[in-house]
A and B are shown apart, each in its own frame.
Chain A
Amino acid sequence: MSSIPFIPVADESENYLTWSHTVKSWLLTVDHKRIAILYMISLTLMFFIGGAAAVLMRLNLLTPEGGLLQADYYNRMFTLHGVVMVFFFLVPAIPAVLGNFLIPLMVGAKDLAFPRINLLSWYLYIAGAFLAIVAIVYGGVDTGWTFYTPYSSRYANTAVSWAIFGVLLAGFSSIFTGLNFIVTVHKMRAPGLTWFRLPLFVWSMYATSVIQILGTPVVAIALVLVVIERTFHVPIFDPSGGGDPVLFQHLFWFYSHPAVYIMILPGMAVISEIVPCMARKPIFGYNFIAFSSVAIAIFGFIVWGHHLFVSSESMYAALVFSALSFSVAIPSAIKVFNWTATLYDGYVSHSTPMLYALGFVGLFTIGGLTGLFLATLGIDIHLHDTYFIIAHFHYIMVGAQVMAYIGGLHFWWPKMTGKMYPDFWGRISAVIIFIGFNLTFFPQFFLGYLGMPRRYHEYPPEMQVLNVMSSCGASVLAVGYIMPLCYLLWSLKYGKPAPANPWVATGLEWQVSSPPPPNNFDKTPIVTEEPYRYDKMITQLGTPLVDDSNLISPGQGAA
């Protein structure tokens, strides 16, 4: 696009991090790579705020009486945890950090289509996060992240409207990011980069963006209606004035179910890049993986009713939504089988990104299969609103998605920072997170089947053993999540300099130096073949792939 601001660089050897060090050059940057870094820092902060709330909750649940926190504070904590983790971490995580950084590089562009809107989206995000956190911590919002009416609209006597404004700002931020990605992918692909030569990362991110643009306005409307009811007492959801309290749930889940796919499709995007590179094979079933991303995005919009199976939805509606919900299982299964098949007869590396990717496959498989219990009407009635749901969606949204996010950070860390991290500690952290996650959430499947309701500050004594197991697991998980923070920060100063292509990977982002120059490509690259042509790359694979001197470059490259 002609509107892309060109970054004037004095010295050709400068990269996007070093060409200017002023605060202004960061806070007013329109460079997609710097905005990605801004997002990465703020998201990390959000992750640990949301994580701290989770730690307090798990500590509270060590005893059946919930001795640590009062009920009111517990309710605020799970609201803080849910709002921060969903709206300010999981939804933006991979798109805003890795997507922002990589999509222009992957399509051979100098920036996203609308760089200034990209910066605006970060400011909206920051403002939204600030508002929401202040509203919850000081305003005492305790509605949960779902804001169900009529509790949120009539009964909660707290700063609900301010929290909602915060979420709305995050929503606009998300819409802007999605819009930017869609236009960029349509209009700014390098010559020769046809749709079926796009990396699967781009396909998946494109599907995510479509959901963001179509779904977010609906939840925005629903939340604005709550604010209207709170402020002007218009009985939209309040039945004592003739409103319908369940209407909110339809509007809310029309977005928030697809939002679950906003939170997992980008994870699938990352895995589809790591697996073929680390197995040195073209990805198995490119077309099937690409179209399954699109299918998930489409099916995601027609299954929201499964959140209302016990909300007085009619029996026939429940039957239809149950059948539709199963449809999501098919594209998910296709992806898992294709990743697995890619490993077959490859040269599988056990490096950090690969361990994270394999961990993703394991956790996603368990999370996906347990989702079938919830689509099955006869069982969901029993499991609805229990810890089974908590366990299921944490396997997908935390287990799988956060593994993909951290795995992706490792994979592209050399590109983003120009530094190598210590691979040994990376592998240890992947293993600790995988084990800690299962210790934390596997017992919750049993708690749920036993009937423990979610959002309970105290519980019957026979459920204590499983709760203690879960809390102990959480401490392992916390160690796992803190480790990458430590050694990645360490690597910024002490890490070995990264070569342009440390993993000998295909993809245009590896054709530029690490870190990339401010304007990405000096010359527009020309693409001549499909992605993942690892079968054409001749390398001596005996030694660790931290050096591209033994690489004979593939056909794909700069012209």
Chain B
Amino acid sequence: MTAERGWRSGFDRRDLLRGAGLAGLAGIGAAAVSGCGSPVATGVAGTGPPKDSLTYWNLFSGGDGVRMVAMEDAYTKSHRDVSLNSVTLSWGNPYYTKLALATLSSRPPDIGISHISRLPTLARAGLLSPIDESALGAHGMTADKFTAKAWETGHIDGKLYCVPLDTHVHCLYYRTDVCKKAGLLDSSGNLKPIKGPDEFIAALAAAKKVTKKYGGVVNITADPSTCYRWFITLYSQLGGQVLADEGRTIVLDDDKAIKVLTFMQELTIKQKLMPNTVDGSAVQQMFSTGQVGFLIDGDWQVSTYQTAKVPFSMTLVPNIFGGPYSVFADSHVFVLPKDPQRNHKRLGLTMDFIHTLETNAITWAMGGHIPAWLPVQHSKAYRELKPESNYASAAQAAVYDAPAWYSGAGSDYETVVGSAVASAETGQMTPRQAVATMRKGLQKYATTKPPVS
């Protein structure tokens, strides 16, 4: 109201608008002058980033995000002449979609994080630059300094496409108070080794007697990834494979899969040692409040329970089926998106950045992930990091997703298999029906023309 009156009495409205417009333009100009290095300014001007800057994209939030920022800070402190532009995007599809589209439009970050399970698809699509191993060696990063399993998996058609940062695995969490009362701990307070289905069931039953509710828990509802990880851990211990030939052939072994699902139903339905209806928040509450003695979940949950001051420890998921020890895993890796503008100097900066983060990986290890950098993995500091170092040997027993255009972290392969596993665990399907559902679901992908090629 007052503004309207003001215009009428004193100002000419056009003058006012013209003035505002000029002020706006001046503002943009000032921003452009002062913000030469900002991504917006360089993007608009099309000049590309200045020489001594690095753009790094990752998908870490929560505790991992905090630790990654701490490692980046270590880098910025020792490299004051480089301006590090770190971008955190949300995990999963949003991240990979943006990474792919930025690379296609020739504006990729210098360095990106990827899951090693997504690597084959990204590499086959031509979105990544292979990494020159001799150049990497010149920066102190050679094959013998990395977890062999992750290093080998990082090779596609004989070329290295990533530098592994960690291996993250599924672990057995156990409450020390419950297990002590159940007589499952040895004299030094560690869980006595568990082998085979009978010992595992006995341990869960002993814990159930203490908790009066359940022995253990694995998430089921709205979390096909966790269902998939638990299934593939057991299925691999039987030597089973799901996909072959880049996902074009399904080699699911019905008998082995049925054996695994029958065992899972034994736990959730027949003996009620684990709940058959449970979801993410219930899992955390049940383990935090001692309604269960055991939890099978990713190593990255360690900080959740440390923060909640739960009396617990962690170890390897037991070898239930007696084959060569294997457990579901994935690795966070550094990748170099294909960038026509990447020159020798920028490549050097990039490798130096990766090297600095690798040498600071003890910070990363506190989040539960097993550092891939062996100088850290073999260090005293890591060995003394408990419970994180208890399961370090899992890094070599890692079972990664089989390469296929539809596999990898957060992929439909994991969702299709995991959803069928969930239906068996809740008792909505028999093991045989669940295996048939898996096969039917995967068949559609196997016969679809791959978008990558």
Pairing of A with B = no
Chain B interfacial positions (CB closer than 8 Å to A): none
Q: Which residues of A contact B (CB under 8 A)?
A: none
